[in-house]
Each structure stands twice: as C-alpha cells, then as structure tokens.
Amino acid sequence: MKKQSIDMGQFRITGDVKMEEQADGYLLTFPEEGGRLILAGAPMHLGGVDWTGATHLVFEMTTLEDFEVSMVNVFISGQDPINEPAAIFNTGVLPGIRVMSARALSDLDSNRMMSPQTPGRLKQIVLGQGVELEKVVALIVTTKKCHKPQRILMHDIYLTWGEPEYQLEEKKLVDRLGQLATREWKGKTATEEELVSSLQEELAACTQKEAFEGRSRFGGDLSTKWEGTGYFRTHFDGKRWYLADPEGYRFVSVGVDCMAPNDDCNYARIRQLFEELPDPEKFSDAYGEYIPQWDAHRLYFSIANLMRAFGENWKKAWMKLSKSRMLEWHVNTIGNWSDKEFIKEAKLPYVWPLDAFPDTEVHIFRDFPDVFSKEYEENAEKFAEQLKEFKEDPYMIGYFLRNEPEWAFVQNLLIAEKLLENAEDTASREAFLARLAEKYKTIEALNEAWNQDYDSFADLSIPVERMSTFSEAARQDAYDFSVEMIRRYVSIPSQACKRVDPHHMNLGMRYAMLIDPILLEGYENFDVFSLNCYSDRPYDMIRQAGELTGKPIMVGEFQFGALDVGMLCAGIQSVKTQKDRGLAYRDYYENAMDSPYFVGAHYFTLNDESTLGRFDGENMQIGFVDVCQRPYQDFVELAAETNRDIYDIADGQRKNVGGMIQRIPQIMGF
C-alpha cells in the first residue's frame, strides 16, 4: 500500500495550541477552548504532497488523557468554512493507546453521515454540505471545546492509496463484566459474585404493583379529566397542550428510550482490548434472537451479566425488574426502540418507532428518497401496513414515522439544489424541470432570471452545481421546490398510516435539530411534532417549533452524562457528577414545562452505551443503569423525584435548580 507522510512543519498554528517535537512525533496540546492547526496550499497539493488518487488521510496518534478526545477536521474550498463548501469530520479517539485514525476521502462529498468504526477510532460524523477533493485548499485540525486541555502525541499524519492496514496494540481496557478495567470508581462491581447477589436481591425485593400509585391505570393525573376516547389524544385546556390518556386523564409523557436488555458492543478487530469476551457457546441457547448480532461482531455484556445472575430465565427476570423500576422511578412511557416482548408484558403506555421508512432505489442526497416516484408511493403503502399489529392497542400513545433523517443534519440545505447536482435520472428532477418550464415558459426567461446561458431546459438534466448561488430568483426556485419535496416526503407516508390506523397519534419524524424552518414543512400531517433536543435546556427549541406549527411538541431524546464513573465519554450534554445529572434532568423538565406546547420527553437511554463503542462507535455514559445493570443512585433518585412531581411542575409548583448544576463541555457530539 502506498503511503506518503505530511510534514507537521507545514501546519500553521492559530490560538494557543502548543506543538513540541518528541522522539516519537509531536506533542500537541490543545487549550480548553480549542485552537487550530491549518494546512493550506494549492488544490491536490496541500502540505507539498500530491493527493492525486489518495483514498485516506490517517492520523496516527496517542491521546494522553483518560477520556475520549474528539478531533475535528474541516476540509474547505475557500477561506470561510461557514459559507464555503466544506466537509467536517468529528472523530472520537480512544485514549491511552496508539491509534490509526483514518478519514476516508470519499466521505468528503458528505453523502454519508456516519463512517464505519475502525480499530481504536470511535464514532465519526461527517457534517457540512461536502466538498470535492480537487477543490480543497485548506485542512483545519482542532479538537472540540473541553473541560481541560487535551494532549495528543501525533506520531504521523499521512495519506494512503488504499484502505490502511490497521494496527492496534494489545492493552486490556475492558474487564470480563464489560466495565472499564483501567479505573476504579464508586459503584463499580468488583466481582461476578457481587453482580449476582446484587441483581438477585433486587429482584427478590421487587413489588408486585401493576400500575402507578395515585394515577390512572395509564399513569394519568387523576385530578384532571377530560373526555376519554379509548386512545391517547392531544388536548388544549385553554392555556397549554397536554395529552389525554384513553380514560381522559391529563397525561404528560415521561419516558425512557431503549427499554431493552442490551448495550451492543462492536468488538470487531479490537478483541485484544478485552480481558475476556462472553463465550458464545456458553450463552448461545439463551441469547436466542441476539445470536445473529453476535455473528456480526456484536455482543451484549449486559445480557451476559443478566445470564450470570438469572441463568436461562434471565429475560423474564429482566422484564420483572424493569417494570418494577419504571413504577419506582415514575416513568410512565416506554420509549423508542424498546423490547416488544417487554411492551406486551408490562401493560404500560409506550411509543413505537415504525420500521423501514419508505425508500427508493435512487437517493437525492444522503437518505432523501425520490419522493415524486411511484416507487415512493408504493413503498409508503407497504410501510403503513405494519400498524395493523398495533391499531387496537390502547397502551400505544402513538408512532414515530422515523428518527433523525440524515439529510436534515446539513445546515442551509436546499434539497432541490442537491437534486440538480445529482447525476441520476429521477422523477423528482423531472417534476422540478416541469415546474421551471411552467413558470418561465422559455429558456431565455430562465436565463435572464438565473444569470445563465442554457440552450434549453434539457441542459438542466445534467448535473448543475450550486444553483442557489446563480441569483436570488434561482435561490427562490430551489427553496420553493425544496418545500414541495419535503411536504411529499412527510405527507405521503403520513396519509398512508392514517388510512391503516386512524386511532393512534402520528408523533412525527424526531428531527435531530431545527436548523432551518423548512424542516417543519408537512407538519400538518402530525398530531404531535417531535424533535430530539440535546440542548441543556429545551425551552427555546420547543417554543420555536410550537409557535411555527401550533402543534404540541414531544422531545424524543435528551440526555446527560458524566465522567465520574467508568466511562470514556460523557453525554452529548455533559456534567461533572451523577448528582449533577439528576439536577440537570430536573432542570430540563422544569424548563420544558415553561412552554405551553410541551407534552412530554423521553430520556435516552436505559443502559449506558458500550465502553468501547456500540455499532457506530458511540460510547457515552448516559444510562439509568450501567453495564452490570446497577442503577446510578444519585442520578436515579433525583430523576424519579422529578417524574413523580411532573404534574406539579406543569402547574408551576417548582423550584428552579439551574444554577446548581456543574456543567462541562460535551466531549462527543455535533
């Protein structure tokens, strides 16, 4: 494999970054607020190296902290990374071991948001609208803002012509129970015997309660009742939005996502980092449905630990334990991606994520389908059929159409502009050209409006780059047709679902962020508008979405994580301690409830993520429970108190805790 190093001396330093030459590379110290290294030069010759034909940019490095470091690389085609085309790589790197952290240069087009995990490199997110390698004139290297300076020993930076041959030293980072082996902390499970006795004692102490004390059988507030319809619905009481449970009682949805006994671990090519992996021969019969995932280099330490405690009856024990915990924690909603068997057994309210959002063979950009095609309409009808299983269930609050469309992560995106940049023949392109021909009548009129010199409308059938920059009229045309495309994206599957299931609420798309009001298009098809809000306080985003749509708002995901226990990465929102997590949880609900549009939020997730990364390399400390299924008491007690008080909070009987929370910058995120 061809390899070419880039001279570190070619990088220009800005900010307070320190670079010291060492025997085995350069020691880089990035200050808390960041600072940058900039490699500039002629296209395809950055750093004096010919990039022609290169496939990967590799940072061979050792992070000298005891937590994950997130490196940020920005590839730009001009001096302004905000307004010029750019691709941004946010990459998590394991600490304490030498890692070959690669960037696939094919991802510069930003057409794929997540890059596959590689040995020692954790989650890698690609942001920005993308840039052609041939036009890149600068590479920025920095780190995310952090709670302390971050030290990286950079052994080498080089290009490869072909997939790198990854090498990773043998160092035991994870013990046989799935915990971090290199650190001790309060609450760490010391032995398998301790694990077994702790879980067995908790199960023995489980109550036989079937519902929430002092609440309706669905968890609703007995002090306030409206008309019951037999299903969950929305209700505006003259001041604010609520949900009404099937009996008509006031209901605020307080949920936990991923109520399932798993924390999938991607152990492919990193076996040498584990003291001992669970033996598939020993666990094969009891894993059942999880065995195919095992074969795909994914395993579940949490299930192995449940099996150690409960043997072949581990699933029934987990379900009894989990229902008891939900009642104890006053969690009234089983959130997204939860275990279907548990949902049926628990007889508690739940939301359901529909599977396989209608797709087309050809995508416009990322996962945005060809929405004007017959294929999209036909697949929407098939998509809706899955609701037949749930249509008579009163415990189902509603369904989410999908989660966090990848195309919606790109700022200032006009999907119609990407449509013209796409070389594929699509029904959507045909529809756009028809709209333009109808509007302008002649190509001369379009040329005048767009400041172009096309010979015919057929010239727009070949890739047209950045049409929105041609003129204000061209930008408006791109915007208008983008609106039409997004409306079809939403309305076609929504209407198909209502035809199959008229009873349950359409809870929307769970957009990751409202980076542009255009994402709200089609909202009239939703009963509740949903978004995943990872702000420390959600009021502003809830208010914005509520005022623009007039719809009640549900938060599909939020979280807080800390580094005071055995994990390498805190949450997208990060705090110092488990107690701070509980205080932040309380503050989140209090702040959300200040908006009259807010009807509920679901915490992500029940379990911590795997120490060395789940399927995509994400490895955050965000759970109600750790890998040994032990609750984080300082966090859980405060969260349970908040959940118990949710209707008092809704009525304004609350004490704001915002100033008491010790927050730190997020380590990994967007």
- The pLDDT tens digits for 90-110 are 999 999 999 999 999 999 999
Q: Is residue 409's pLDDT more than 80?
A: yes
Residue 260's nearest CA partner among 605, 639, 628, 612 is 605
Structure-block tokens of residue 64: 């000298």
- Report pLDDT digits (tens) over 515-563: 788 889 999 999 999 999 999 999 999 999 999 999 999 999 999 999 9
The bridge status of strand 505-506 relative to strand 396-400 is: parallel
Cβ atoms < 10 Å from Cβ of 373? 18
CA 585/CA 555 separation, integer angstroms: 13
pLDDT band at 370 (very low <50, low <70, confident <90, very high): very high
Q: Is residue 129's pLDDT more than 90?
A: no
**pLDDT number for residue 294:** 47
Decide which of 412 and 638 is more confident. Answer: 638
DSSP helix/strand/coil, 519 = helix
CA 632/CA 563 separation, integer angstroms: 13
Q: Which fold has domain 2-161?
A: Jelly Rolls (2.60.120)
Beta strands in 498-577 (DSSP E): 505-506, 529-532, 553-558, 561-562, 574-575
DSSP helix/strand/coil, 412 = coil
pLDDT band at 78 (very low <50, low <70, confident <90, very high): confident
Domain spans, the chain: 2-161, 252-336+510-664, 363-500
**pLDDT number for residue 82:** 60
**pLDDT number for residue 286:** 47
DSSP helix/strand/coil, 161 = strand
What is the average pLDDT value for the chain, to the nearest integer?
A: 93
Structure-block tokens of residue 336: 């997204």
Q: Is residue 615's pLDDT more than 90?
A: no
CA 555/CA 460 separation, integer angstroms: 41
Q: Which residue has the tokens 């030069």?
A: 41
**Residue 468 identity (one-letter amino acid):** S
Average pLDDT over residues 450-464: 95
Q: Is residue 277's pLDDT more than 90?
A: no
- Report pLDDT digits (tens) over 58-73: 999 999 999 999 999 9
- Report pLDDT digits (tens) over 197-228: 999 999 999 977 778 889 999 999 999 999 99
Inter-axis angle of helices 314-329 and 633-644, nearest 10 = 60
pLDDT band at 293 (very low <50, low <70, confident <90, very high): very low
Among 258-272, 315-329, 610-624, the range scoring the smallest mean pLDDT is 258-272
Average pLDDT over residues 34-39: 92
Residue 396's nearest CA partner among 328, 325, 323, 338 is 338
Ranked by mean pLDDT, the top range of 296-310, 626-640, 656-670 is 626-640
Structure-block tokens of residue 274: 């584990």
Q: Determine what percent of the chain is predicted with pLDDT higher than 90.
A: 85
Tell me if the bond preceding 469 is cis, omega within 30° of 0. Answer: no
Exposure on the CB side of residue 293, measured as CA atoms within 13 A: 16
pLDDT band at 465 (very low <50, low <70, confident <90, very high): very high
**pLDDT number for residue 80:** 67
Residue 40's nearest CA partner among 86, 75, 5, 66 is 75
pLDDT band at 454 (very low <50, low <70, confident <90, very high): very high
**pLDDT number for residue 81:** 60
Average pLDDT over residues 17-36: 95
Q: Which residue has the tokens 């949710």?
A: 646
Angle made by CA atoms 544, 548, 552, in degrees to the nearest 5: 80
Average pLDDT over residues 381-386: 98
CA 2/CA 134 separation, integer angstroms: 20
- Report pLDDT digits (tens) over 469-525: 999 999 999 999 999 999 999 999 999 999 999 999 999 999 988 878 888 999 999
Among 134-143, 258-267, 464-473, the range scoring the smallest mean pLDDT is 258-267
Is this prediction's pTM over 0.85? Answer: yes
CA 125/CA 446 separation, integer angstroms: 38
CA 115/CA 126 separation, integer angstroms: 7
Q: Determine what percent of the chain is predicted with pLDDT higher than 70.
A: 96
- Report pLDDT digits (tens) over 168-198: 989 999 999 999 999 999 999 999 999 999 9
